[in-house]
């Protein structure tokens, strides 16, 4: 089955990530069959898709895209009937993932790729529960999937090269920006990079070097603006002028190593958690999460439009 021939996707698990995936697939003109055993899941999914739809309309819908192409099923097997690609978004618990992937695998023809959105679990361990581990891959998005293009596609020990190629091709065909890291690691790639920043952010708060608000501003109005345009290595290259990254590393290499050696290794103690929570409340100054999400999506949409205009690739 080729990427261009996929017309029906099943979304298993319709929480925040699953609902965002469902909305995106629908906007790309696909038929989406969804399932989630949680009470009230159907109503929450429909509400979430309707909330995301105006943003997706602004991005641009594929021909035939419609919320009417979404169906919800109370049982997993019914939702999987006719699926040509599966995006699994179950809870981040190994025991539940193993059972869920095993059931999905047992219900599908052996040529259908199963992609898991897991944020940190290793695919080699997850796919062992399946009769056809060769078609099980990691398809990890970044939240919210209906807006952020990145998808990390990684195989486990049993994943075939053909399944990886099909997953990469499918995500590319629907407008995503898939990357294919070559090694399985806890947290994959993007989450590990985030974790490195979070570690130092929590360290700075723990030693009283900066407030939560200061750190958020330092990123949002500093390097975060550059990172939204290009990645860390490209930014290092630009910092070197005409000589590029070679000059930057010659010039900043020794102090960079010194900074690395001085970075903190905080422990997420109850006391540190309480401090961060209290400072976050102060920094929010009454703003609701809903209003912050609206602002985030508006700015992100404008940024994505600007990036597409600047570079079609």
Q: Please determine, for residue 281, whether its predicted confidence score (pLDDT) is greater than 70.
A: yes
Mean local confidence (pLDDT), 131-147: 95
pLDDT one-digit tens code per residue, 78-99: 999 999 999 999 998 989 999 9
Does CATH place domain 190-229+267-310 in 3.30.70.20?
Answer: no
CB contact set of 117 (below 8 Å; sequence gap of 6+): 13, 17, 18, 21, 87, 88, 89, 139, 140, 141
CATH tag, 3-179: 3.40.50.720
Q: Give the confidence band of 312 by pLDDT, cuts at 50, 70, 90.
A: low
Q: What is d(CA 51, CA 131) in angstroms, rounded to the nearest whole number?
A: 38
Quick one: average pLDDT of 293-305? 90
Average pLDDT over residues 181-188: 91
Confidence at 31, pLDDT banded by 50, 70, 90: very high
Judged against a pLDDT cut of 70, whether residue 127 lies above it is answered with yes
b/e map 260-299, b = 16+ CB within 10 Å: eeeeeebeeeeeeeebbeebeeeeeeeeeeeeeeeeebee
Q: What per-residue confidence (pLDDT) applies to 3? A: 58
Q: Which residue has the higher pLDDT, 192 or 3?
A: 192
- Delimit the CATH 1.10.1040.10 region(s) of the chain: 190-229+267-310
Three-state secondary-structure class, residue 179:
strand
pLDDT over threshold 60, residue 1: no
**pLDDT value at residue 310:** 85
Report the pLDDT averaged over residues 248-263.
Answer: 94
- Intervals of CATH 3.40.50.720 along the chain: 3-179
């Amino acid at each position: 089955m080729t990427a261009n021939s996929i017309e029906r996707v099943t979304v298993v698990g319709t929480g925040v990530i699953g609902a965002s995936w469902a909305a995106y697939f629908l906007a790309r003109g696909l038929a989406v069959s969804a399932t989630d055993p949680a009470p009230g899941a159907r109503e929450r999914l429909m509400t979430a898709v309707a909330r995301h739809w105006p943003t997706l309309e602004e991005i641009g819908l594929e021909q035939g895209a419609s919320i009417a192409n979404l169906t919800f099923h109370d049982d997993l097997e019914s939702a999987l009937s006719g699926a040509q690609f599966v995006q699994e978004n179950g809870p981040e618990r190994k025991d539940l993932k193993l059972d869920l992937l095993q059931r999905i695998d047992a219900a599908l023809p052996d040529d259908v790729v199963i992609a898991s959105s897991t944020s940190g679990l290793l695919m080699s361990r997850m796919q062992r529960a399946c009769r056809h581990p060769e078609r099980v891959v990691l398809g990890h998005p970044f939240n919210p999937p209906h807006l952020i293009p990145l998808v990390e596609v990684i195989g486990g020990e049993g994943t075939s090269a053909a399944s990886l190629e099909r997953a990469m091709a499918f995500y590319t065909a629907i407008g995503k920006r898939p990357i294919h890291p070559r090694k399985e690691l806890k947290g994959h790639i993007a989450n590990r990079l985030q974790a490195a920043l979070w570690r130092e952010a929590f360290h700075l708060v723990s030693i009283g070097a900066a407030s939560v608000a200061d750190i958020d501003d330092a990123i949002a109005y500093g390097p975060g603006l550059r990172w939204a345009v290009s990645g860390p290595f490209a930014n290092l290259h630009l910092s070197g002028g005409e000589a590029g990254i070679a000059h930057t590393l010659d010039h900043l290499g020794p102090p960079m190593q010194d900074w690395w050696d001085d970075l903190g290794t905080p422990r997420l103690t109850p006391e540190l958690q309480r401090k961060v929570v209290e400072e976050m409340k102060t920094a929010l100054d009454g703003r609701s999460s809903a209003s912050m999400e609206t602002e985030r999506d508006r700015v992100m949409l404008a940024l994505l439009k600007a990036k597409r205009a600047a570079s079609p690739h």
